[in-house]
Chains A and B, each alone.
Chain A
Amino acid sequence: MREMMKSSIATFLVGALAAVGLLLPIDRADAHHSAAVFFDRDQIVEIRGVVTRWSFLNPHPILMVEVTDPDSEKVEWLMQFTNVLNMRRLGITDATFATGMEVTVAGPRALAEEIYALNPELVVLPDGTEIVAAPGQGGERRVTRPN
C-alpha cells in the first residue's frame, strides 16, 4: 500500500514538474547498472538551469544548478556525479563548469520525491557540447535526449 502511494506521489510529482517545464522525460537508461543509492532509474529527467556551484571532489563531485520555473520561482538542484577518477579519465576537470554557466542535465532523479537531486548521465554545455558523465560498461552513452 505504502509503495503504491509512494509510486503515485512520484508519478504525480514528476508529471507536475514536467507540466511546468522543469522536467522533460527521456528514454529509460540501462537498468543493469549497479543500483544507485539515492536515484531512481525509472525516473530519468532533464533539467535546464544555471550553475551555482561546482565541487570537483570525491567521493562524488557536486554540481548545484538553479532552475527557474515559469512563475520565476527558483529551485536549486543537486547533481551528484560518479567520482573524480572516472570523470578525469573522461576529460572532465574542475574547469568544466563555471558559476553562471547555463547547462542542461539528464539522469535518474532522487528516490525521495521531495528532494531535488539527480545523478547526471548527460550534461549539455552552452556551446552544445555533450558530456557523457556516466557511460555504460562498454563506454556507451546511456541517456538519449528528447528531440
Chain B
Amino acid sequence: MRSANANPLRRRVFEAAAVGALMFVGTGPFAANAQAPSASSEVPDLSGIWKRAERREVLTPLRLNARAEALRGVLDERAYPKYDCVAATMPRIVTDSYNFQIQQQADRVLLMFEKDDVVRTVWLEGYGHPAPSVGEYFLQGYSIGRYEGAELVVETTKFTYDPHGFSDGSPTIASSQRKTVSERYWLDEGRLRVEVVTEDPLMILEPNRFRYAWDRTDEEWLEFACDIENSHTVLPFLTPQYGVP
C-alpha cells in the first residue's frame, strides 16, 4: 500500500484526477463494467452470481487469545451492532449462505454479497488509486487486488474494530483494527473457490485459514434491505446482561 497522504487538499486533487482518469477510461477500450479480458489473457472470468456449493473447509481453526475470549464474555448482546443493521464483515460474511456476486471491471473488482447488501471494492494495483490516510478505517476495510496467473488475489487492511468481526453468533467474536484478510479466488472446473487467511494479532493466536466454494446460479439477485425497526423487534426477547435496555 502506498504511503498515506496527510494533506487533504492534495488528496482531493488526487482523487479528482483519479475520477477524471476513470471517466476517460470509461469511454475508451477499457470501458467500466467491461468483463475480464478474453481467454487469451491470464485474467480468469470470475464475473457472475454464485451460490454456495460446499460447506466451509477449515484449514486452520480460529484460535482466540485471552483478550478475545474475555471480550466474548463482556459484550452485551443487546449492544451488538447487527441489531441496528450494521453489516457483517470479512471473514464472516463470505461463508454465510447468501448468494455472492463478482463484477470484474477494468481497474477494480466488485465483490457483492446479498447478505446486508454489502459491496466491497477491490482496487486493482497499477491504476493509481488513492490510498486511505493514516487515520482512515472502514467497516469493510480497504482492499487492493491483482491477478496472479489464474487467481484473483485480494488483500484487505484498515478494518474498524468490529464486535462481530469473526463471528456474529452469540456470543460474538470481535476483530480489531489490525485484522488483515487475504483472499485467493480461482476457478476449479467451473466451481469458484476461495481460500481466506485472516490475521489479527490482537485477537487470535495464529492465522485462521479456510476454503469455500460456489457454483454459478441464474437466480435473481435480491436486495437484502435490512429494516432496523423489524430488527429491533427481537431486542425485548434478549435477556439484558447489565440490567439496562
Interface residues of A in 97-115 (CB under 8 A from B): 110, 112, 114-115
From A58, A89, A110, contact of B237 by CB (8 A): A110
B170, CB-defined interface residue at 8 Å:
yes
Q: Are B234 and A58 in contact (CB under 8 A)?
A: no
Q: Are B226 and A59 in contact (CB under 8 A)?
A: yes
Residue of chain B at shortest CB distance from A80: B234
Given the complex of chains A and B, what is the CA–CA distance between A55 and B226 in angstroms? 12
Given the complex of chains A and B, what is the CA–CA distance between A61 and B234 in angstroms? 11
A57, CB-defined interface residue at 8 Å:
yes
By a CB distance below 8 angstroms, the chain B residues around A22 are none
Assuming the contacts A37-B170, A85-B114, asked whether A59 and B237 have C-beta atoms less than 8 A apart, the reply is no
- Size category, B interface: 20 to 34
By a CB distance below 8 angstroms, the chain A residues around B238 are 38
Contact with B along A41-70 (1 / 0, CB 8 A): 000000000000001011111100000000
Q: Are B226 and A58 in contact (CB under 8 A)?
A: yes
Contact with B along A111-133 (1 / 0, CB 8 A): 01011010000000000000000
B224, CB-defined interface residue at 8 Å:
yes
Q: Could you pull out 26 A-B pairs where Cβ atoms are within 8 angstroms?
A: A37-B169, A37-B170, A38-B234, A38-B237, A55-B230, A57-B225, A57-B227, A58-B224, A58-B226, A59-B227, A59-B231, A62-B230, A62-B233, A62-B234, A78-B233, A78-B234, A78-B237, A80-B234, A83-B224, A84-B222, A85-B98, A85-B222, A86-B97, A112-B237, A112-B239, A137-B55
